Amino acid sequence: MKALVYQGPGEKEWKDVPMPQLANSGDVIVRVDTTTICGTDLHILKGDVPAVTPGRILGHEGVGTVTETGTGVKDFAVGDRVIISCIKSCGHCINCRSGLYSHCLGDEGAAGIGWVFGHLIDGTQAEYVRVPYADNSLHKLPDGVSDVQAVMLSDILPTGFEIGVLAGAVKPGDVVAVIGAGPVGLAAMMTAGLCGAAKVIALDLDKGRLEQARKFGATDAVDSGDADWKDQVFALTDGAGVDVAIEAVGLPATFEMAVDTVRPGGHVANVGVHGKPVELHLDELWIRNITITMGLVNANSTPMLLKLVAAHKIPAEQFATHFFNFDQMLDAYETFANAATTKALKVIISRAG
CATH no. for residue 287? 3.40.50.720
Assess whether 281 and 341 both reside in one domain: no
Element (H, E) at 2: strand 2-6
Report which of 295, 301, 231, 243 is spatially closest to residue 267, judged by C-alpha positions: 243
Q: Would strands 81-84 and 138-140 be described as parallel, antiparallel, or unpaired?
A: antiparallel
Assess whether 89 and 12 both reside in one domain: yes
Residue-level pLDDT at 353: 59
Report which of 149, 199, 148 is spatially closest to residue 178, judged by C-alpha positions: 199
Domain that holds residue 112: 2-155+299-350
Task: Specify the CATH number for the domain of residue 130.
Answer: 3.90.180.10
What is the DSSP code (8-state) at residue 164? I
* CA 75/CA 81 separation, integer angstroms: 12
Residue-level pLDDT at 214: 95
Q: Are 187 and 165 in contact (CB under 8 A)?
A: no
* CA 107/CA 336 separation, integer angstroms: 33
User: Of the candidates 247, 271, 294, which is a domain's last residue?
Assistant: 294
- Which 3 state secondary structure label does DSSP give 178? strand
User: Of the candidates 276, 294, 312, which is a domain's last residue?
Assistant: 294
Assess whether 60 and 184 both reside in one domain: no
Assess whether 91 and 216 both reside in one domain: no
What is the DSSP code (8-state) at residue 19? P
CA within 13 Å, CB half, 185: 31
Assess whether 13 and 145 both reside in one domain: yes
Report which of 187, 190, 195, 153 is spatially closest to residue 301, judged by C-alpha positions: 153
* CA 158/CA 298 separation, integer angstroms: 8
Assess whether 172 and 251 both reside in one domain: yes
Assess whether 141 and 202 both reside in one domain: no
Q: Are 114 and 279 in contact (CB under 8 A)?
A: no
Distances in Å between the Cα of 350 and the Cα atoms of 133, 138, 143, 306 are 25, 19, 19, 20
What is the DSSP code (8-state) at residue 108? S
Assess whether 316 and 201 both reside in one domain: no
Report which of 203, 177, 176, 166 is spatially closest to residue 301, judged by C-alpha positions: 166
Number of domains in the chain: 2
Residue-level pLDDT at 124: 98
Assess whether 268 and 225 both reside in one domain: yes
Low-confidence ranges of the chain (pLDDT < 70): 353
Assess whether 213 and 91 both reside in one domain: no
| Residue 44 dihedral angles phi and psi, to the nearest 5° | -60, -45
Angle at 53 between CA 56 and CA 29, to 5 degrees: 25
Q: How many CB atoms lie within 10 A of CB 216?
A: 25
34 forms bridges with which residues in the sheet?
63, 350
Element (H, E) at 39: helix 39-46
With 0-12 CB in 10 A as exposed, 13-18 as middle and 19+ as buried, what is 224? buried
Residue-level pLDDT at 273: 87
User: Of the candidates 294, 319, 335, which is a domain's last residue?
Assistant: 294
The torsion of the CA quartet 246, 249, 254, 258, rounded to 10 degrees, works out to 0
268 forms bridges with which residues in the sheet?
245, 292
* AA letter at 130: R
Residue-level pLDDT at 142: 95
Assess whether 166 and 112 both reside in one domain: no
- Which 3 state secondary structure label does DSSP give 167? coil
Assess whether 19 and 125 both reside in one domain: yes
pTM, to two decimals: 0.95
Q: How many CB atoms lie within 10 A of CB 92?
A: 13
